[in-house]
Amino acid sequence: MRVIVSSVVALAATGCFYVDPINERPSAEIVRDNVDLPHRGEVAQVHARYDDPDGDPVRIGWSALACGAGGLDCDAVPFQTGTTSLFTVVVPYIRADGTTVGAVRMLLDVADRWNAQARPEQQLVIDVVDHAPTVEVQTSGRQIDNHYPVTVPIRVAAMFSDLDSGDDVTLTWKLFPAAGSRPETTTWEAWPGPPTTGLEEMKLIPDVGGNWTVRVTAVDGQGEMTVTDRVIDVREDAPPCIGALDPGTADATIIVDAPRRFAVLSVDDDINVYPAPSSNDEFLRAATFAWALASPATGGALEPVVGLGTSDLVIDPANYQPGDTLDVRVEIGDAIVRPLPCDPASPTCSVNGSTCMQRQTWHLEIR
Amino acid sequence: MSGARRPITARVAIAAMLLAGCGAGSAGDSPDASIITGDAGIFDAPPSCAINVTFSLPPGHAEPIAGDIIQATGLVTNGPAFLQPVWQVKHNGVTTTPPAIDDHGLVVQFTVDEAGVYEVVFAPDNLGACSAWDMPLNVKAAGANSAPWRLRVVPSTGAAPPQEQIIRVSGGAPAALGTIVLQPGSAADGHLLDGSAAPVAAALRFEPDATPDLPVEASAGNDGAFHVRVQNGPHHVLVVPIDATRAPARLPWNALTPDLTLPSSDLISGTVRAPDDSPVAGARVVLTIAGVPTTVATTDASGAWSVRGHRGGTVAVTVAPPAASGLPRLEVTGAALDLAQPVAIHYAPGLATTDLGGAVVRAGAVAAPGARVSFVGPVAAAATITAGTTVTAGGRIQLSAVANGAGVLPPTRVPAIAQRAVIATTPTVFAVVALDPTSAPATIDAPGLVSLTGTITDASGAPRANARVLVTPTGDLGAATMIPAAAITDASGGFAIQVAPGGHYALAATDPALALARVDRPDVTGGALGAVALGPALPLSATIQVAAQPGGLVGAAVSLLCATCTGVDRTKPVAEGVTDIAGGFSMAVPDPGVAPMLR
């Protein structure tokens, strides 16, 4: 076209005038390649669509400015520049003044070889999306088969973060107790200890079995919110079970012709185990033992050995008459009072009719 | 070094681990030791493949000692043809790869700088069906003392019978016993018959010859049948027939020929006569011949008795007279009596009795209704026992009475000699007072409880808070009550326990954190005890398996017991543990220490 115009001018001026051709500006526009609004730290990509009426080659200049919300109040200095049609930027987290980036303003400058710049100036404001904070809730404690027994402290830890640097996150805790729980018998308080960045911990001591739900709401400075629920399976403390015994025989008469120790050597329980654990283990406590003895002095009736709470009892035949028969009984317990349902004459007993025994009786004969 | 090194095979090495660096050698030194073996690497592997590691120690060292240069040689039997061995030595959380000193990488050398447990891993990367060798290596402290203990394992299930072995704990460093493999023992079904093949019902006590401390009780029913699971090896069985006319016996036994035949017995008879030569009726008489009790007899109106037993061997005689007689219980042991002759038991003519009936039992000068008074004390030369020869029997006063609602004793006859009265004004409040009943006292006064105070410390003398202190009655008081008293130490390590005045106790203090070893004081009384130091302790760990069964043995009780004690002290553990879900356990055991300046 330009050549044709020049020829006409030349023809018209044959022998008389010459007209220098008029340069035209290039045209340009910014085209977004990804339509989703980027989060800070994510990529925003645009490219330049341009044309030069004169067919001149063009020079492309990109500038990306970090701005406040709505693309206002942008930094004076671009955080990234480019000279190719395709322009990809990683959205920064903070601006030069330390405030959070609210938008990115893309400036496109296209000029031809005569330095004629495309008009109007092309700008594109891309709003930046705030990251929601992340929060993960974990529990720890004396967990047995994926559940926790009642009355044992559970450490509930919320680990939180926000990808948007400098964005403060505030946690809100809410406890949804299991049915039947009462506040006065439940502990729900901050876990003692110095604060740790990105971590908050609570202590839960549930008072009833059931599903307890801990809801942690994390809110960042931009108002973005994340809600995380953690369901904690809490079960009633199972009855303790007699483990190893000495003597191990349940149904034989024990001949006692020398001092003999009768002992519960181990107790299996969620909490109240024996041998007594180290007291450094905050979750464990010792089992309890109640002994009873039947002898001629008691008329053959089992009478509690008041005050004897140890795991063993020694029978010295010297304290009895030769030929005396005795019954020695031990019943184990934990923090929960569970009356044994068995007949008192039953040598063994399980509170729930299982193989988990809480009573053992030995029959002795003194020689 | 290589030529002079003393090689120890893995089996011996593990034994050394089991012994926690004992100087005396292997588990085979003990008659108990054959029951539990510590061999694990070979046990785990299929029969077609085995990995073994041999250690060579510096000359003169039976076990690794801190500072030693250890040479380890791996051996794979029936394994892959081409191996690329990987060695690791782990200690205190640090893993090192020892350098190979041969072309094939089968021999490595490393230095054990300090005492403790080193974990040695030999894992050819082309294992095939083999298992890697991964075992602890206990390194003793130089100059370490060692102490023997009985390590007892009692499964909570019937997977294996209780077993124990002697271990030696070396001082100054933790010890790991590796894997302890229990033998499943033998299940035996047998019958107890008499000489005419008639079934006999009885109580049975199977005592392993190797570990008589670990009997297993069973019953033979009316059909004589019994079932028992016991350790392998020979046993002796104490048979006590239910029929009181049949004599007990102790019989050799093994599980391969489980039936037992009760031998015929001898009739042994005699009389019991009072100091005034009158017959003592209603006295219980039992003999123990060569350690086997006879039947129990009760004297008739003429003082006559007869028991059935098996003559032969030294004799112990126990006579428990009726309480109304006021006579002491007689006990004599080791007597060489001719039991083919009548056994004449005659209380010493000068032994008088007195009646304490009417005496008022008081506590704090106030009558104590319902108080129980036990009269105790020795009586020298209380009787003579004649059967071919005459022996003098010692006596022991063992009588009791309960005061009525006014605190007044009913008729209560006791020997008229100095003795002690153990007074229980309530089931848990006791006092022990001297009593001279030669003239019947009008009152028997129980003084108030007294304090037993002290301080529990560690070995350096620093007070130990929250320590548990348990005092168990012994002596006269122990004969009257088995109820201990307990306290927890305060922040300054102090404790105060109300105890019976005049009573003797055995004190045991334990550390709640299990970081220090239990301390025992066998005889304490009320008053200020001063400082009692808990001993230093070492961690001792191991894993329990049952041979030919996969995985660890869960829930087994593990006890550490005195190896040199006798009597009831032999039954009291100094440390206890229970195996976890992997069969592992850890306990704090007394540290025998390290002799200074030996290296």
From the list A279, A307, A321, which residue is nearest B512 (CB)?
Answer: A279
Partner residues linked to B317 by β-bridges = B287, B332
Tell me which chain A residues have a C-beta less than 8 angstroms from the C-beta of B299.
none
pLDDT at B264: 94
pLDDT at residue A8 greater than cutoff 80:
no
Contact (CB, 8 A) for B284 and A322: yes
pLDDT by residue, tens only, chain B of 599 residues: 333 444 443 333 333 333 333 333 333 333 332 222 233 333 333 456 678 899 999 998 888 999 999 999 988 877 666 667 889 999 988 999 999 898 888 899 999 999 999 999 988 766 666 778 888 899 989 889 989 999 999 998 888 999 999 998 999 888 888 899 999 999 999 999 999 999 999 999 999 999 998 999 999 999 999 999 999 999 999 999 999 899 999 999 999 999 999 999 999 999 999 999 999 999 999 999 999 999 999 999 999 999 999 999 999 999 999 999 999 999 999 999 999 999 999 999 999 999 999 999 999 899 999 999 999 999 999 999 999 999 999 999 999 999 999 999 999 999 999 999 999 998 888 999 999 988 889 999 999 999 999 999 998 999 999 999 999 999 889 888 878 888 999 999 999 999 999 999 999 999 877 788 889 999 999 999 999 999 999 999 999 999 988 889 999 999 999 999 887 788 888 899 999 889 999 988 999 999 875 44
Chain length of chain B: 599
A367 and B572: CB-CB below 8 Å?
no
Tell me which chain A residues have a C-beta less than 8 angstroms from the C-beta of B479.
316, 318-319
Those residues whose C-beta lies under 8 Å from the C-beta of residue A194, and which sit 6 or more positions away, are: none
ipTM of the complex model: 0.83
DSSP string, A253-276: EEEESS-EEEEE--EE-SSEEBSP
Phi, psi of B525, rounded to the nearest 5 degrees: -130, 175
Contact (CB, 8 A) for B16 and B22: yes
Those residues whose C-beta lies under 8 Å from the C-beta of residue A334, and which sit 6 or more positions away, are: A237, A239, A240, A269, A271, A272, A285, A287, A288
Average pLDDT over residues A135-142: 91
Task: Read off the tokens for B244.
Answer: 């009181």
Distances (CA, A) of B552 to B10, B27, B155, B520, B588: 21, 21, 11, 33, 21
Quote the CA–CA distance of A289 and A332 in Å, as a whole number.
Answer: 5
For A262-294, b where at least 16 C-beta lie within 10 A, e where not — what string? Answer: bbbbbbbbbbbbbbbbeeeeebbbbbbbbbbbb
Mean pLDDT of chain A: 88
Interface A–B counts its CB contacts (< 8 A) at 133
From the list A249, A273, A322, which residue is nearest B286 (CB)?
Answer: A322
Tell me which chain B residues have a C-beta less than 8 angstroms from the C-beta of A249.
216-218
Partner residues linked to A333 by β-bridges = A288
Those residues whose C-beta lies under 8 Å from the C-beta of residue A264, and which sit 6 or more positions away, are: A242, A243, A244, A245, A274, A287, A289, A311, A312, A330, A332, A360
The nearest alpha carbon in chain A to B161 belongs to A248
Quote the CA–CA distance of B358 and B404 in Å, as a whole number.
Answer: 10
Kindly list the residues of chain A whose beta carbon comes within 8 Å of any beta carbon in chain B: 243-249, 251-255, 257-261, 265-266, 268, 273-276, 278-280, 297, 305-310, 313-314, 316, 318-319, 321-323, 365, 367
The nearest alpha carbon in chain B to A355 belongs to B157
A251 and B219: CB-CB below 8 Å?
yes
What's the one-letter identity of residue A198?
G
**What CATH number does domain A241-366 carry, 1.10.260, 2.60.40, 1.10.357, 2.40.160?**
2.60.40
Quote the CA–CA distance of A197 and A158 in Å, as a whole number.
Answer: 11
The DSSP bridge pattern shows strands A260-264 and A225-235 to be unpaired
Q: What is the maximal distance between C-alpha atoms in chain B?
A: 96
pLDDT at A3: 43
Average pLDDT over residues A51-62: 92
DSSP string, A139-187: EEES-BTTBEETTS-EEEEEEEE-SSTT--EEEEEEEEPPTT--GGG-E
Contact (CB, 8 A) for A316 and A295: no
Those residues whose C-beta lies under 8 Å from the C-beta of residue A76, and which sit 6 or more positions away, are: A96
pLDDT at A195: 85
B557 and A266: CB-CB below 8 Å?
yes
Partner residues linked to B74 by β-bridges = B53
A314 and B568: CB-CB below 8 Å?
yes
Q: Is the preceding peptide bond at A247 cis, omega within 30 degrees of 0?
A: yes
A249 and B320: CB-CB below 8 Å?
no
pLDDT confidence tier of residue A6, bands split at 50, 70 and 90: very low
CATH fold of A134-235 reads Immunoglobulin-like (2.60.40)
Domains present along chain B, CATH in parentheses: 6-183+547-590 (2.60.40.10), 186-261 (2.60.40.10), 266-446 (2.60.40.1120), 450-538 (2.60.40.1120)
What is the torsion angle, in degrees rounded to the nearest 10, for the CA atoms of residue B279, residue B284, residue B285 and residue B290?
A: -170
A367 and B577: CB-CB below 8 Å?
no
Tell me which chain B residues have a C-beta less than 8 angstroms from the C-beta of A245.
154
Task: Read off the tokens for B96.
Answer: 């090192």
On whether the pTM is more than 0.90, the answer is no
What's the one-letter identity of residue B376?
V
Which has the closest alpha carbon to B553: B524, B585, B575? Answer: B585
Quote the CA–CA distance of B414 and B402 in Å, as a whole number.
Answer: 14
Quote the CA–CA distance of B476 and B378 in Å, as a whole number.
Answer: 10
Those residues whose C-beta lies under 8 Å from the C-beta of residue A226, and which sit 6 or more positions away, are: A132, A133, A134, A135, A217, A218
Quote the CA–CA distance of B16 and B120 in Å, as a whole number.
Answer: 14
CB A190: neighbour CB atoms within 10 A?
11
Tell me which chain B residues have a C-beta less than 8 angstroms from the C-beta of A321.
284, 320
> What stretches of B141-183 show up as alpha helix (H) in DSSP?
none
Span(s) in chain A for CATH 2.60.40.10: 26-127, 134-235
pLDDT at residue A164 greater than cutoff 90:
no
Tell me which chain A residues have a C-beta less than 8 angstroms from the C-beta of B465.
none
Chain length of chain A: 367
pLDDT at B597: 56
Quote the CA–CA distance of B394 and B416 in Å, as a whole number.
Answer: 16
B293 and A257: CB-CB below 8 Å?
yes
Distances (CA, A) of B193 to A161, B129, B236, B259: 80, 51, 16, 8
DSSP string, A282-342: TT-EE-EEEEEEE-GGGTT--EE-TT--SSEEEE-GGGS-TT-EEEEEEEEE-SS-----S
The dihedral built from the CA positions of residue B330, B333, B337 and B339, taken in this order, carries a sign that is positive
Average pLDDT over residues A218-245: 91
From the list A244, A255, A305, which residue is nearest B483 (CB)?
Answer: A305
pLDDT at B55: 93
pLDDT at A272: 79
The DSSP bridge pattern shows strands A134-141 and B266-273 to be unpaired
Quote the CA–CA distance of B181 and B42 in Å, as a whole number.
Answer: 11
Contact (CB, 8 A) for A92 and A79: yes
pLDDT at A131: 84
The DSSP bridge pattern shows strands B146-154 and B163-170 to be antiparallel
pLDDT at B297: 97
Which site among A308, A321, A357 would you substitute to test the B interface, given the most B Cβ atoms closer than 10 Å to its Cβ? A321
Distance from CA of A161 to the nearest CA of B (A): 32
Contact (CB, 8 A) for B7 and B55: yes
From the list B238, B398, B427, which residue is nearest A307 (CB)?
Answer: B427
CA angle A203, A208, A214 (to 5 degrees): 45
For B407-442, b where at least 16 C-beta lie within 10 A, e where not — what string? Answer: bebeebbbbbbebbbbbbbeeebbbbbebebeeebe
Distances (CA, A) of A326 to A99, A303, A321, A364, B401: 84, 11, 11, 5, 20
Q: For the purposes of burial, counting CB atoms within 10 Å of the CB of A156, is it exposed (0-12), middle (13-18) or buried (19 or more)?
A: buried
pLDDT at A279: 58
DSSP string, B349-415: TT--EEE-TTPEEEETTEE-TT-EEEEEEEEEEEEEEEESEEEEEEEEEEEEEE--TTSB--S-EEE
Residue B18 per-residue DSSP state: H
Tell me which chain B residues have a C-beta less than 8 angstroms from the C-beta of A323.
244, 284, 286, 296, 298
B217 and A306: CB-CB below 8 Å?
no
| CA gyration radius, chain B | 30
Which has the closest alpha carbon to A265: A245, A288, A248, A247? Answer: A245
B154 and A322: CB-CB below 8 Å?
no
From the list B217, B238, B484, which residue is nearest A249 (CB)?
Answer: B217
Those residues whose C-beta lies under 8 Å from the C-beta of residue B341, and which sit 6 or more positions away, are: B387, B388
Distance from CA of B10 to the nearest CA of A (A): 32
Tell me which chain B residues have a C-beta less than 8 angstroms from the C-beta of A259.
567-568, 571
Those residues whose C-beta lies under 8 Å from the C-beta of residue B417, and which sit 6 or more positions away, are: B351, B377, B379, B437, B438
Q: For the purposes of burial, counting CB atoms within 10 Å of the CB of B129, is it exposed (0-12), middle (13-18) or buried (19 or more)?
A: exposed
Mean pLDDT is lowest, of A9-13, A285-289, A360-364, B75-79, for A9-13
From the list B155, B484, B577, which residue is nearest A310 (CB)?
Answer: B484
Quote the CA–CA distance of B571 and A258 in Å, as a whole number.
Answer: 11
CATH class of the domain defined by A26-127: mainly beta
B203 and A310: CB-CB below 8 Å?
no
From the list B396, B568, B577, which residue is nearest A259 (CB)?
Answer: B568
Chain segment A121-130, per-residue pLDDT in tens: 899 999 998 8
The dihedral built from the CA positions of residue A325, A262, B310 and B223, taken in this order, carries a sign that is positive
Tell me which chain B residues have a C-beta less than 8 angstroms from the C-beta of A258.
567
Distances (CA, A) of B414 to A284, B408, B442: 51, 16, 15
